């Protein structure tokens, strides 16, 4: 059950959103790690105030993750809406992203771990597409950066800001194609039609990157 946090709670948990607790910067905000009073480790995603798209992202992410629960999905603990501030609070996933483990020159992800990541991410996609109680959820931005790893390399799919869901068999059509270059399905990029097949294409690109150890768009 998601709950509403106060800004002061999150400010205290992240040591006033200190540089030492900074984790990452995304397209629509910043992510910080923190610790709640009870000792639970969290990740706080701040949404930039000026972004209309950011507002839509925030609402989409709350709605999707409130209705989706799976062992390979990042757990949304709650949110904060206070004044002009919008924040999402997640369970902290400790072992960085698949992107880091694939492409950082100082790390090597063992083959057995790669297999486990592939299987876990595939199970998460099957759940979102076929088994979720709120209908079909399409991630639309599946890439190694959005697959986080636990201490034993279990994958946790996150960042649902671009996700869409529908209950009919008719594909939704987007007037503006949004996603990450290199992972966009050609039919989605050309027509704007959003189906779960777009996620399957992105997943295929990730598998290729996991096998080759190279980015899908590699200019070197």
What values do phi and psi take at 91, rounded to 5? -65, 135
Active-site pick, 15, 141, 159, 218 = 141
CB contact burial 126-147 (16+ within 10 A = b; e otherwise):
ebbbeebeeebbbbbbbbbbbb
Whole-angstrom distance, CA of residue 47 vs CA of residue 209:
30
Place of tokens 């798209």: 53
Taking the CA atoms of residue 133, residue 203, residue 141 and residue 65 in that order, the dihedral angle to the nearest 10 degrees is: 20
Spell out the SS3 assignment of 87-141.
Answer: EEEEECCCCCEHHHHHHCCCCCCCHHHHHHHHHHHHHHHHHHHHHCCCCEEECCC
CB 159 within 8 A of CB 111: no
- Reply yes or no on whether 141 is catalytic: yes
Q: What does the angle CA 128 – CA 133 – CA 134 come to, to the nearest 5 degrees?
A: 80
Query: Which residues are tagged catalytic?
Result: 141
């Amino acid at each position: 059950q998601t709950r509403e946090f106060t800004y002061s709670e999150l400010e205290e948990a992240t040591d006033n959103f200190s540089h030492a607790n900074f984790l990452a910067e995304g397209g629509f905000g910043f992510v910080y790690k923190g610790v709640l009073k009870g000792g639970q480790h969290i990740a706080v995603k701040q949404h930039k105030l000026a972004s209309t798209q950011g507002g839509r992202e925030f609402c989409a992410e709350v709605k999707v993750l409130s209705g989706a629960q799976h062992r390979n999905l990042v757990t949304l603990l709650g949110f904060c809406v206070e004044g002009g501030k919008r924040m999402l609070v997640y369970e902290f996933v400790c072992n960085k992203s698949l992107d880091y483990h694939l492409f950082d020159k100082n790390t090597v992800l063992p083959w057995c771990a790669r297999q486990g990541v592939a299987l876990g991410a595939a199970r998460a996609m099957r759940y979102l597409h076929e088994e979720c109680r709120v209908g079909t959820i399409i991630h639309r931005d599946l890439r190694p950066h959005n697959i986080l790893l636990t201490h034993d390399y279990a994958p946790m799919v996150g960042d649902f800001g671009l996700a869409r869901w529908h209950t009919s068999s008719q594909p939704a059509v987007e007037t503006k194609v949004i996603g990450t270059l290199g992972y966009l399905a050609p039919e989605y990029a050309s027509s704007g039609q959003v189906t779960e097949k777009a996620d399957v294409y992105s997943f295929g690109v990730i598998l290729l990157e996991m096998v080759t150890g190279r980015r899908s768009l590699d200019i070197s």
